[in-house]
Chains A and B, each alone.
Chain A
Amino acid sequence: MPFSAQPPASGERYALSASLDNARHLSSLLRAVHFQDHATCFATASGLRVTVEDAKCIQANAFIQAEIFQEFSVQEESVVFRVSLSVLLDCLTIFGTSSLPGTSTALRMCYRGYGYPLMLFLEEGGVVTVCKINTQEPDELLDFDFCSTKVINKIILQSEGLREAFAELDMTSEVLQITMSPDKPYFRLSTFGNAGSAHLDYPRDSDLMEAFHCTQTQTNRYKISLLKPSTKALALSCKVSIRTDAQGFLSLQYMIRNEDGQICFVEYYCCPDEDVTEGEL
C-alpha cells in the first residue's frame, strides 16, 4: 500500500497523533529504558508512557507528558500497543545521533488504532523519512503496587553522586545490596564480587543528599544485571529518588531535564532477590 510523504490531514481520525519539534526529547528518554527489545506504549490525554520489563522482576517506565509535545491528541480513552523499541529508536534517530546545536529532527507520530502500524514522519533539513512500525498485542504488565503510603524508606540524591558508582559497579557480583537506615551507614550500596566485597556509603548529611526519610533499617539485595541498565537513566538525570517498601520492592525515580529545560520522569521498579539476608558490614 503506497503512502505519501505527506503527514495525514488533521481531519483524519487517529487514535493517537502527536508532533514534536525535537525528536531527541523522546529518543533520549526511550534510550534510558531500552534494556529489552520490546516496549508497551500507553497514550492518554496526559501523555505517553513507555514500559519495558524483564524477567518478571524489573519494570521501567518513561513518561513524556503531553506538554512536552507541540501537539498531542488522543481520540480514544486510552491507546495501548506493543512495539519494537529497538526499531522505534532506530527510526527516531534515523538522521544520526550526534546533537549539533541548532539542528534537530522534527517528528510527527500517528497511530490509527488497534491493528494498525505506528507511523512516524521525521524531518531534518528538508529531508523527510517515513517509517511504518508494526504494532502487536500489548503484554500483561506487572503491577508493583508501589504507592507512597507504603514506603518505608526514601532518600533523594543528586545524581552526580551516584553516576560514577553505578558505572563502576563490580559486575562480578551477582547482586547489588542496598541498605537504608536511620543510623549508620545511612545509605549503603554493596557488591560481593570475585575480588571481595565493596561498599559505597553516603552519609545523611552529605551535600548530595536532598532528602533523607528513613524510618527503619532495611537491607535488600537485587540482581545486579537487572539494575545495571538503570545507569542510563541515572546518567541523564539530575536527581534520583530511592524508595523501598515493606516487601523490599525498590523504586528508583529519575528526574530528567531535557534540552529545553522541561522535566520528564523515568522510573524503575525492582523485586528483591530471593534469598534476602543481612549483608556483610
Chain B
Amino acid sequence: LSRIGDELYLEPTESGLSLRAVNSSRSAFASFLFAPLFFQLYEPGGAGPDAELFRCKVHMKSLLGIFRSLPSLEKSVGKCLILLKPRASRLVLQLHCKYGVTKTHNLTFQECERLQAVFDTQRCASRLCAPARVLAEAVVHFPPMLAEVTLGTGPGGKISLRNYVEDEAEPSKTMVTELWLAEDEFQSVAVAPGSHITFCLKEFRGLLSFAEASNLPLTIHFDEPGRPMIFTLDDTVLEVHLVLATLSDLESNSQSPSTNGVSHLPAPSDNFADDLESYMAAMETSEGPSEGPPSPTFPLRTPRPAESEPEEEREEEEEEEEGAVPGTPPHKKFRSLFFGSVMTPGRPSPATTQEVLAEDSDGES
C-alpha cells in the first residue's frame, strides 16, 4: 500500500478490517480487506449497533516505521494488538514481543471520509488469471523505473506485455521491450480478441510482490482503454483489490495503426528460436521476412515488418526510455478513477461518459 499512497486509510467494517490507499493523482486505489477470521479477536466496536464505525487515516511512514523489519518481527513479536481510540485521538498498536517485552505505539490519526473507488469487475470484458510468479517473471524484463506498460492480446490466445512509448519520444533514445506469454501460462484467459490496455507498472509492482510472497493467483480484469483496470487477489481471509486508471486510446482512432496497437502486429509463432533468428536477420538485411516477428514500432511509424530504415539499428542501443516520472502516471491522458461519493458504494459507474468524476472525498463535509 505504501507504493500507492502516503496515507493509510483504516476502515473497520462488519466484514473485516479494510486498509486502503490512493495515490496523489487519484489514478490508483488499493484495498486490503482482512476478514474477521484473519484475527484472533476482531471487534469493530462502535457505540451501539447503529453507530457508524469509526474510520481514520494515518501517515504511511509512521506505520512503516513500526513494521520496519519483517525478519525481526517474525523472530521477536508474538502478537499485535490494534486499538482505535477516537476519544483519545489515538490509534494504538501494541506489539507483544518475546521476553515479555511490550512495544506500544500511540499514533495520531486524521478523521476522514470513506475512500472508495467505483469499479465493477463484472463489467469488464476481459479477464486473465495467472500465478503471481508468471507475471513477476514477465515484469522483471522491464526497467525498474518504467512507468507504463501495455497489455495486449494476440491471435492464438497469446498475451503480450510491452512498454508504452510516448508519441513525443525520440526513436533514437527509446528502447522497446515486448514479451509474449502463451495462453497455457495462465490459469484462465477470457479476453476480448484484439484488446489492449495501458497502465502504470510501478503501482502494480507493489501488489505483485505481495502476491508472490503470499503465493496467491492474480486476476486481472480489464475493459476498454480508459476504463479502470482491476487486479484482485482472493484468499479465504483476505480480499485485495488494486484499481488502476488506464490510458485512453484517443489516438488510435485517428491514426492507424496506433503506436501501441498491439492488435495490428502479428504475434510470434510458437517456434520462438527460429523466429528470433529470422527476426535478427530481418534487422540486418533490408528485406523483411514474409512472416515472422514484427519489428518494434516507434511512434509515427507504420509497423510493417519490412521496415528497413537505419533507425531500426538504434533498437540495439541500451538507452532507456526517457524519464517518465515514476510513481504518478504523468500522461495527461490517464483519467482519474471514478470516486464515488460517500454514501453509495455499490452504485454502478456511469458507462458512457468520459467525464472525470473524481471528487476529492476529503473535501466533502
**Among A161, A195, A196, A197, which residue has its beta carbon within 8 angstroms of that of B99?**
A161
Contact across chains for A201 and B101 when beta carbons are under 8 A apart: yes
Q: How far is the CA of A205 from the CA of B58 in the complex (A)?
A: 35
Contact across chains for A199 and B103 when beta carbons are under 8 A apart: yes
**B58-94 interface bits toward A, Cβ cutoff 8 Å, 1 = contact, 0 = none:** 1101100100100010001000000000000011000
Contact across chains for B101 and A161 when beta carbons are under 8 A apart: yes
Q: B49 in the interface, Cβ–Cβ < 8 Å? A: no
Contact across chains for B103 and A207 when beta carbons are under 8 A apart: no
Whether A206 touches B99, Cβ cut-off 8 Å, given contacts A164-B76, A195-B65, A196-B62, is yes
Q: A198 in the interface, Cβ–Cβ < 8 Å? A: yes
Contact across chains for A198 and B105 when beta carbons are under 8 A apart: yes
B262, chain A: closest CB distance, angstroms: 46
Q: B106 in the interface, Cβ–Cβ < 8 Å? A: yes
Which residue of chain A has the shortest Cβ distance to B90 in the bound complex?
A: A196
Q: B325 in the interface, Cβ–Cβ < 8 Å? A: no
Chain B positions within 8 Å of A165 at CB level: 103
Contact across chains for B106 and A196 when beta carbons are under 8 A apart: yes
Contact across chains for B102 and A168 when beta carbons are under 8 A apart: no
Whether A196 touches B107, Cβ cut-off 8 Å, given contacts A164-B72, A168-B68, is yes
Chain B positions within 8 Å of A267 at CB level: none
Task: State which residues 189-204 of A face B: CB under 8 Å.
Answer: 194-203
Size class of A's contact patch?
Answer: 20 to 34
Q: B100 in the interface, Cβ–Cβ < 8 Å? A: yes
Q: A170 in the interface, Cβ–Cβ < 8 Å? A: yes
Contact across chains for B99 and A200 when beta carbons are under 8 A apart: no
Chain B positions within 8 Å of A200 at CB level: 101-104
A280, chain B: closest CB distance, angstroms: 8
Chain A positions within 8 Å of B90 at CB level: 196
A112, chain B: closest CB distance, angstroms: 50
Chain A positions within 8 Å of B91 at CB level: 196
Q: Is the interface of B mostly helix, strand, loop or mixed?
A: strand
Q: B108 in the interface, Cβ–Cβ < 8 Å? A: yes
Q: How far is the CA of A207 from the CA of B97 in the complex (A)?
A: 12
Q: A208 in the interface, Cβ–Cβ < 8 Å? A: yes
Which residue of chain B has the shortest Cβ distance to A203 in the bound complex?
A: B100
Q: How far is the CA of A199 from the CA of B107 in the complex (A)?
A: 11
Q: How far is the CA of A202 from the CA of B100 in the complex (A)?
A: 7
Size class of B's contact patch?
Answer: 20 to 34
Contact across chains for A205 and B59 when beta carbons are under 8 A apart: no
Contact across chains for B104 and A201 when beta carbons are under 8 A apart: yes
Chain B positions within 8 Å of A201 at CB level: 101-104
Contact across chains for B100 and A198 when beta carbons are under 8 A apart: no
Q: How far is the CA of A195 from the CA of B99 in the complex (A)?
A: 26
Contact across chains for A198 and B108 when beta carbons are under 8 A apart: no
Which residue of chain B has the shortest Cβ distance to A205 in the bound complex?
A: B100
Contact across chains for A195 and B61 when beta carbons are under 8 A apart: yes
B124, chain A: closest CB distance, angstroms: 39
Chain B positions within 8 Å of A170 at CB level: 65
Q: How far is the CA of A165 from the CA of B103 in the complex (A)?
A: 9
Q: How far is the CA of A195 from the CA of B58 in the complex (A)?
A: 9
Whether A196 touches B102, Cβ cut-off 8 Å, given contacts A164-B72, A170-B65, is no
Contact across chains for B101 and A198 when beta carbons are under 8 A apart: no
Chain A positions within 8 Å of B62 at CB level: 194-196
Chain A positions within 8 Å of B99 at CB level: 161, 202, 206-208
Q: How far is the CA of A81 from the CA of B168 in the complex (A)?
A: 69
Which residue of chain B has the shortest Cβ distance to A185 in the bound complex?
A: B102
Chain B positions within 8 Å of A207 at CB level: 99-100
Chain A positions within 8 Å of B65 at CB level: 168, 170, 195
B207, chain A: closest CB distance, angstroms: 25
Whether A199 touches B104, Cβ cut-off 8 Å, given contacts A164-B72, A164-B76, is yes
Contact across chains for A208 and B61 when beta carbons are under 8 A apart: no
Contact across chains for A202 and B101 when beta carbons are under 8 A apart: yes
Further contacts, 12 of them, CB under 8 A, given A196-B91, A206-B100: A161-B99, A161-B101, A164-B76, A165-B103, A195-B62, A195-B65, A196-B105, A198-B103, A199-B103, A199-B104, A203-B102, A207-B99
The 7 closest A-B CB pairs, nearest first, are A195-B62, A196-B107, A206-B100, A201-B102, A199-B104, A203-B100, A208-B99
- A: residues with CB less than 8 A from B are 161, 164-165, 168, 170, 194-203, 205-208, 280
Q: List 15 A-B contacts (CB under 8 A).
A: A161-B101, A165-B103, A168-B68, A195-B65, A195-B108, A196-B105, A196-B106, A198-B104, A201-B101, A202-B99, A205-B100, A206-B99, A207-B100, A208-B101, A280-B106
